[in-house]
Chain A
Amino acid sequence: MRATILTLTLSIGFLLLSLSAIRKQRLHGKQAVLWLFVSLSMVFLSATLPLHFLDYVSHFMGIAYPPNLILLLGVLFLFLLVFQLSTTAARLAETNTALVQEIGLLKTQFPVEVLASTANSDGDMDRSRPQPG
């Protein structure tokens, strides 16, 4: 019973953490759904400890020692999450490259003579200097 209270407290705490992050817009869309789902599952598993739900499931799956099921699910979940973050990072790098290129193209500088010959009155030296940083 004490174990149930402990895990239930922890998982409800985590649920509240997720909810507040969602309310404060620190988690959006898919991420919000994901963590809400994870924290609700944790609450569910803790609450059903006295009912031996976990033992039934692990027995059904042929796992002799129920905590191993939790470890298996945990590792699988983290593995998939890291994989997904890795692909997201790759995609972000790609869009980042495109944006940096676009900024460079928008800031293209031409030699002073060209600026002067286009009758653009502000073709002075300072404007054609690359911006630091």
Chain B
Amino acid sequence: MTTNDATTRRHLPAAPTSRDVAPGGPGSPDAPEPAAAEDAARQDRFRLPVGLRVCVIVPALNEGGSVGAVVASVEQALPGAQVVVIDDGSTDDTGVRALEAGAAVIPLPVNLGIGGAVQTGYRFAAMNGFDVAIQIDGDGQHDPEETRLLLGPLIEGDADMTIGSRWLGRGDYLAPRSRRFGMRILSRLVTWRAGATFTDTTSGFRAVGANGMALFAEHYPVDYPEVETIVLASQHGLRIVEVPVRMTHREHGSSSISGLGSAYYMARVILALVAGNTDWRHS
């Protein structure tokens, strides 16, 4: 198999060619049935490009019930990637469950909130020289299979940061009307500040290359980081690409943002976008 072959294959995880099938190949005596092999190939033959070190950041707070499954499915989706769970001061067995599932665990002694937890992951990735860091929620809202879609543009060199967007046609995610309205306002503001259009600014399903990792390791908003980081990244010259993904409604727990909290959330994020000149404030 030529290098070129490997290059094409890694971007087309969902449609492997017959050449990719199973060890031994179709001709060998113990080769599986072609159809089954095809299926197995779809499931298992995805390989990270040789030498590419990928870190998957999973922030988790009291997710003992679901973190194990998330870690396992990430490891299945991206064999060879380093999964790191940031245990954000959980009071349950989140850390133990994550370790059992095979993840590295960073136990934060006190709860920092989503921004501080995710930043810890970026610092881990930057410190340990990873090439790509992927951020995925520990609550089952994001499909680990789709981390491959986030990797594509980064590997190609077309982007420094990819964001999984639920509004680009894949999946059937539906938010309440009020929430969609808020998201649209944020989208407009981000377009204004970042100088490019983004459909899903509140998505926490992202991947960055080494330069984005270094930026986020250094500067990351503490509260409600999703929207602000887009502006931050684009003002630091990162090329951001949105990738269509499916999102499901969360399996456990509820959104941290609801009711009166939504109004406060909007106010905080808009303040950060309008008043926060990320250019000089973070330099």
Contacts and interface: CB of A to CB of B under 8 A. Distances in A.
B103 A108 contact: no
Nearest to A102: B123
Contacts of B27: none
Chief secondary structure at chain B's binding surface: mixed
Contact of B110 (A100, A114, A131): A100
B140 interface: no
Most buried by B among A104, A110, A114: A104
Interface stretch (B50-58, B94-102, B179-187): B94-102
B109 A130 contact: no
A103 B112 contact: no
Contacts of A109: 95, 99, 104-107
Contacts of A103: 108-109
Given A107-B107, A108-B106, A130 B87 contact: yes
A61 to B, nearest CB: 35
Contacts, number: 63
Interface string A8-20: 0000000000000
Chief secondary structure at chain A's binding surface: helix
A113 to B, nearest CB: 8
Interface residues of A, number: 20
A105 B96 CA distance: 17
A131 B112 contact: no
A112 B127 CA distance: 22
B107 A101 contact: no
A86 to B, nearest CB: 16
B99 A104 contact: no
Nearest to B220: A97
Interface size class of B (residues with CB under 8 A): 20 to 34
Contact of B112 (A97, A108, A111): A97
A62 interface: no
Contacts of B104: 108-111, 114
Interface in A105-126: 105, 107-114
Contacts of B108: 100-101, 103-104
Contacts of A101: 108, 112, 116, 119-120, 123
B224 interface: no
B125 to A, nearest CB: 11
Nearest to B107: A130
A128 interface: yes
A105 B124 CA distance: 7
Contacts of A111: 99-100, 102-104
Contact of B120 (A93, A105, A110, A128): A105
Given A110-B104, A111-B104, A105 B127 contact: yes
**8 interchain residue pairs of minimum CB distance:** A130-B95, A104-B108, A104-B106, A101-B120, A130-B107, A109-B105, A97-B116, A111-B102
19 contacts: A100-B108, A100-B109, A100-B112, A103-B108, A103-B109, A104-B86, A104-B120, A107-B106, A108-B124, A109-B95, A109-B105, A109-B107, A111-B102, A111-B103, A111-B104, A130-B87, A130-B95, A130-B96, A131-B107
Interface of A: 93, 97, 100-101, 103-105, 107-114, 128-131, 133
